[in-house]
Structures are given as structure tokens and as C-alpha cells.
């Protein structure tokens, strides 16, 4: 087992990464706020891992099972969890346990942040995407039909337990979607890691345990360092959103039903890289390296064909990074060097959106 620390003073917490961790109650019980705990999971994960986690907690842990899918990351689903808490008369010493992928983690964290003005929660991510990204950093949210993650709060977990064994039951499509977020870390701040990914993407796709553990550990290390430096996204943390403004537009346009988050981010990173090349920042050869790695990982490198430039602009206008009505994008000056910019020629964005509309 590898253990990393998210350094946030008295709110610091560990990230445990390794095999067989779901059965290790000693990793979970020190972080329970009291005797009451509620596991939030979904219909896919519950039959696989709910009994293990219940046994590991060593308490009379209750559970609520929500539907599976991004479209269920909503206020309506959050209300199901609130009702379960209220009916069981759970108080402020309750601990919520998020057992599942990014949707379950974001939803559970949001409920934990808002139930009785904030209760403790633990993240137990069971997808690659959640293990390398969404479970770390305390961003919690639900979606709205007009925009993704627009209703949320910052609320840090007490610990993160990433059991790599859960990846053996992960569908291939979900594994590939997780690789998009892994590749993102190489693009924004770690060129050596990007090169390692180019050489090891085949092993990752084949679920080689050593390669996956290395990728998860490095991704979490990068994320933990960024979060410690900028917890509430006033500056550097926004770099973690490379490709997300384009990607969130894709998810919203398709009703959160057709594309997985990682797939949309992959296409969005290609669009951001293409725009960076158009601005003269990113060399053409590096852009092709990015496209090639994402393609070899089995990820899309272009958005759906039915989202035109105007629809993209409309949806990108509903983005948390925007300031005073100005669109802010994460762009690349090189592989491993990302920047936040709202000072770019309008025609560069227009040309990028038009190019991808025609390309799709």
C-alpha cells in the first residue's frame, strides 16, 4: 500500500492506494465521526462491494443505493439520500461513505457538505477516473440541465481509499475514460509522466497492476500538490480543468447520457491543444503526440457531429472558470505546461470550433 497526504493543515487527509484495501477496516474506522454511518453507492457497485465495506466498517452501517449514471447526479437523487438520513434520524456525528465512481463521490460529498450544515465523509472510489481525480480535492456537486457541476460546495473527505482490485470489474469503456484524466496530469504539469504514459499506455489498457498503481499514485500525487497549494481554485487549481470547458459542453449538450466524463474531457483536451497550436503556443508535433496518445488509449479526439460552433459557445458560457462574463480557458504552451487565459483572439476560438464541427 502507498499512502499520500493532502496537506491542508488540520483538515489534511491520507490517500491510501493498493490491493485488498476494502477489507481493511483499520483504514476506515479512525475517520468515522461517530457511531452512525451511511454508505452511498449505486446499483452497479452495490452487488460487488457493499457487503465488504459494511463488514470493514465494523458498525451497523446503513446503505442507500442510487441509480447508476451521470444523469442521476442531480438534486433529485441527492434528495433520496437526505430522506434516508432524516428518516433514520442521523445527526451531525454521521459519516457518509461514498462507494462508487465519480458520480457517487460528487453526489455523496455534496450531501455531506449540506446535511445539517456539514458532516464527515469518506471516499472509496471504485473507478479509475474517481481514483485519480474526483475523489481527491473536496470538489462536490450535482448537475443541472443547463450546466454541469453548477450546484456544489468545497468539502474535503476525511480519507480516500483507492483499492486497485476494484478496477478488475471495471468495464473497458470506463477504464479508458479514466485514462483521460491520467493523461491530463502529464499535459498540465508533468512532461516526464506524459512520456511514461506514451510508453506504457498498452500496459494500462491491459490492466497491468504495476502500471495502473504507478499511474494512480503519480496522478494522486500531482492532484494533492495542486490542491494543497490552491484548495478553492483561486489560481493554479484551475489548470486541472484542461479540456473540461469544452468537455462539459459536450456532456451538457448530450444530456449527460451519451458520453462518459472522461471521453468528453479527452475530446476537450484535443480541442484545447488544437487552439493552443492555432495561437502559436504549442508546436504542431506536440499536438499530434497528444492526439496519438489519446487515440491509442481508445479515447475520442473530436466532439459529436451534432454540436455546432454556436451551441458550443452557448454552453461554454456557463462555466465556473469564467470571470465577469469573459470565457477563461486552460490552454497549453507545451506538454507539461498549461496556462489559464482569457486573453486570446476571438477568431482562434471560432476557428477551433468550426474546424472540429467540420472534422466531426
Lookup result for grid cell 470506463: 174
Residues catalogued as catalytic: 117, 139, 181, 223, 233, 237, 241, 244, 248, 261
Report the alpha-carbon distance of residue 95 to residue 88 in Å, rounded.
13
Report the alpha-carbon distance of residue 96 to residue 141 in Å, rounded.
15
The DSSP call for residue 326 is B
Q: How many CB atoms lie within 10 A of CB 324?
A: 6
For residues 350 and 271, the answer to whether their CB atoms sit within 8 Å is no
Report the alpha-carbon distance of residue 219 to residue 181 in Å, rounded.
8
Residue by residue, DSSP assigns 219-266 as HHHHHHHHHHH-TT-SSGGGGGGTTHHHHHHHHHHTTTTSS-HHHHHH
Report the alpha-carbon distance of residue 240 to residue 11 in Å, rounded.
21
Nearest to 70 by CA among 141, 122, 160, 137: 141
Say whether 148 sits in a helix, a strand or coil: strand
Say whether 90 sits in a helix, a strand or coil: coil
Report the alpha-carbon distance of residue 136 to residue 156 in Å, rounded.
8
Q: Is 310 exposed, middle or buried (0-12, 13-18, 19+ CB in 10 A)?
A: exposed
End-to-end, the C-alpha distance of the chain in Å comes to 43
Amino acid at each position: 500500500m502507498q499512502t499520500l497526504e493532502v496537506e491542508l493543515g488540520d483538515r489534511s487527509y491520507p490517500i491510501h492506494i493498493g490491493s485488498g484495501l476494502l477489507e481493511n477496516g483499520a483504514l476506515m474506522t479512525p475517520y468515522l465521526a461517530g457511531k452512525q454511518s451511511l454508505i452511498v453507492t449505486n446499483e452497479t457497485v452495490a452487488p460487488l462491494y457493499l457487503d465488504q465495506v459494511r463488514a470493514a466498517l465494523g458498525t451497523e452501517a446503513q446503505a442507500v443505493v442510487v441509480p447508476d449514471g451521470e444523469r442521476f447526479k442531480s438534486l433529485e437523487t441527492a434528495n433520496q439520500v437526505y430522506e434516508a438520513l432524516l428518516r433514520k434520524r442521523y445527526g451531525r456525528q454521521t459519516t457518509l461513505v461514498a462507494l462508487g465512481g465519480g458520480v457517487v463521490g460528487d453526489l455523496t460529498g455534496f450531501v455531506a457538505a449540506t446535511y445539517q450544515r456539514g458532516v464527515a465523509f469518506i471516499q472509496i472510489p471504485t473507478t479509475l477516473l474517481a481514483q485519480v481525480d474526483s475523489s481527491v480535492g473536496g470538489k462536490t456537486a450535482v448537475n443541472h440541465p443547463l450546466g454541469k457541476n453548477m450546484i456544489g460546495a468545497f468539502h474535503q473527505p476525511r480519507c480516500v481509499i483507492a483499492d486497485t482490485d476494484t478496477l478488475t470489474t471495471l468495464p473497458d469503456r470506463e477504464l479508458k475514460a479514466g485514462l483521460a484524466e491520467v493523461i491530463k496530469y502529464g499535459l498540465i504539469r508533468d512532461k516526464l509522466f506524459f512520456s511514461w504514459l506514451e510508453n506504457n499506455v498498452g500496459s494500462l489498457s491491459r490492466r497491468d497492476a504495476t502500471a495502473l498503481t504507478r499511474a494512480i499514485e503519480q496522478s494522486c500525487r500531482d492532484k494533492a500538490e495542486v490542491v494543497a497549494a490552491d484548495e478553492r481554485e483561486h489560481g493554479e487549481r484551475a489548470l486541472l480543468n484542461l479540456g473540461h470547458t469544452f468537455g462539459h459542453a459536450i456532456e451538457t449538450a448530450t444530456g449527460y447520457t451519451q458520453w462518459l466524463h472522461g471521453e468528453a474531457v479527452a475530446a476537450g483536451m484535443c480541442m484545447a491543444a488544437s487552439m493552443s497550436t492555432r495561437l502559436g503556443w504549442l508546436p504542431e508535433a506536440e499536438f499530434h503526440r497528444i492526439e496519438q496518445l489519446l487515440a491509442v488509449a481508445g479515447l475520442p479526439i473530436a466532439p459529436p457531429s451534432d454540436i455546432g460552433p454556436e451551441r458550443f459557445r452557448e454552453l461554454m458560457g456557463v462555466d465556473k472558470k469564467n470571470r465577469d462574463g469573459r470565457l477563461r480557458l486552460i490552454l497549453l504552451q507545451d506538454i507539461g505546461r498549461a496556462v489559464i487565459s482569457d486573453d486570446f483572439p476571438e477568431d482562434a476560438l471560432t476557428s477551433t470550433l468550426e474546424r472540429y464541427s467540420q472534422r466531426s
